[in-house]
A = this chain, B = another copy of it.
Amino acid sequence: MHDFLSIHPEVAAALKAGRPVVALESTLISHGLPAPASLETAREIEAAVRANGAVPATIAVLDGRIRIGLDDEDMQRLTVPGTAKVSRRDLPLVLAKGADGATTVAATMIAADLAGIAVFATGGIGGVHRGAETTGDISADLEELATTPVAVVCAGAKAILDLPRTLEYLETRGVPVVGFGTDAFPAFYHRDSGLPVDGRCDTPEDAARVLNAKWRLGLEGGIVVAVPIPDAAALDAATAEAAVQQAVAEAAAGGVRGKALTPFLLHRLETLTGGASLTANRALLLNNAAVGARIAVAYARLKQ
C-alpha cells in the first residue's frame, strides 16, 4: 500500500502522537470554487483547523500517489484546469496512470481512513439527485458513509440534491445524521431544511461520544455531523431554493450530467444569486473546519 500513499511529516507526527487531525478534501480547490477564491479558501480552511487546535490534512492524488497533507505548491497544482475529479471508482485508474486528481468526499474518506484520520470537514456531502427515480443518479458519498469509519462535518448535503431522499438513503444504510446545535437537518445555504436529524449534539464532546460509541461497538461506516451555516452568511430559504430549481432546470434542458453536473450547478447558482452563494459557501466551509477541529480535539482526548 505504501507506494500509493504518502503522509505529510507534520500529519504523520500528529497521528503517531494521538493528536487531533482534520482531513480536508480537494475537489473544492479544483472544481467546487472558482479560482482564485478556491486556493484562498483552501488556505483559510487549513488556518481555521489550526486555530481550533488540530492539524489540517488536505488530501489529493498527485503523481499517482494519495497525499495526506499538502504544501502550498501542491495546492496550486490542483487549480490546473482539467484536473481529474476522483471518487472511489476513479482511484485505481488515477493511481495506475500516475496522474493527479482532486478527491471527492468519498475518496477523501477512503484516504483519511487509510491514514487513520477520524474527522473530515467539508462543505456538503453528495446525495440523491433530484429525479433519481428515473436517472438512478446517487452520489458514491452515501455508500462511502455506509462503509468507511470517518465522521464528516458538513452543512448537510449539497443544496442541489433531493434532501428527503438523501436522508432516507442514509437511514436505509444505517448512517447516523447528527445535528450540531440543531434538531433540523441544515440545507447548506440556509439553516433548516424542515427535515429532522436522528439526534442532536450541542458540544464537540457530545459529538465525540457518538463517534466513540459507534466505532467501539464495531459498527462499520461513518457519521454525518451536520452544522448549520452561520446565521450572518445564510441565504434566504426561498431565494436559495428558487435559484437551485432554476439551475437544475437549466442543467436538465442542456443535458448536463455526470461529473459535469455539480460544477455546472454551483456556477449557475453563483450567477443567479449575484455571488451570494459563493460567499455563503466560503463561510460554511470555514465554520465546518472550525467545528471539525473542535470535535477532533474532543475525540482525541476521549481516546486517550
In the assembled complex, A24 has its CB within 8 A of some CB on chain B: no
Inter-subunit contact A213/B87 (CB<8 Å): no
Interface residues of A in 195-215 (CB under 8 A from B): 196, 198-199, 206, 209-214
In the assembled complex, A128 has its CB within 8 A of some CB on chain B: yes
For A223, the closest partner residue in chain B by CB is B92
The CA-CA distance from A209 to B136 in the complex, in Å, is: 30
Inter-subunit contact B95/A213 (CB<8 Å): yes
The oligomer's copy count stands at 3
In the assembled complex, A174 has its CB within 8 A of some CB on chain B: yes
Interface of A, helix, strand, loop or mixed by DSSP: helix
In the assembled complex, A119 has its CB within 8 A of some CB on chain B: no
The CA-CA distance from A214 to B92 in the complex, in Å, is: 5
In the assembled complex, A155 has its CB within 8 A of some CB on chain B: no
In the assembled complex, A164 has its CB within 8 A of some CB on chain B: yes
Give, as a whole number of angstroms, the nearest-CB distance from A273 to chain B: 28
Give, as a whole number of angstroms, the nearest-CB distance from A133 to chain B: 5
Residue-wise, chain A 129-158 has the 8 Å CB interface mask toward B (1 for contact) of 000111111111011101000000000000
**A92 contacts which chain B residues (CB < 8 A)?**
176, 210-211, 213-214, 217, 219, 223
**A210 contacts which chain B residues (CB < 8 A)?**
92-93, 96
In the assembled complex, A171 has its CB within 8 A of some CB on chain B: yes
Give, as a whole number of angstroms, the nearest-CB distance from A31 to chain B: 16
* 5 closest residue pairs by CB, A with B: A88-B174, A92-B214, A93-B199, A136-B168, A95-B213
User: What are 14 A-B contacts defined by CB distance under 8 Å?
Assistant: A1-B217, A3-B216, A4-B213, A66-B217, A89-B198, A90-B176, A91-B214, A92-B219, A95-B213, A96-B206, A114-B217, A137-B168, A138-B168, A140-B171
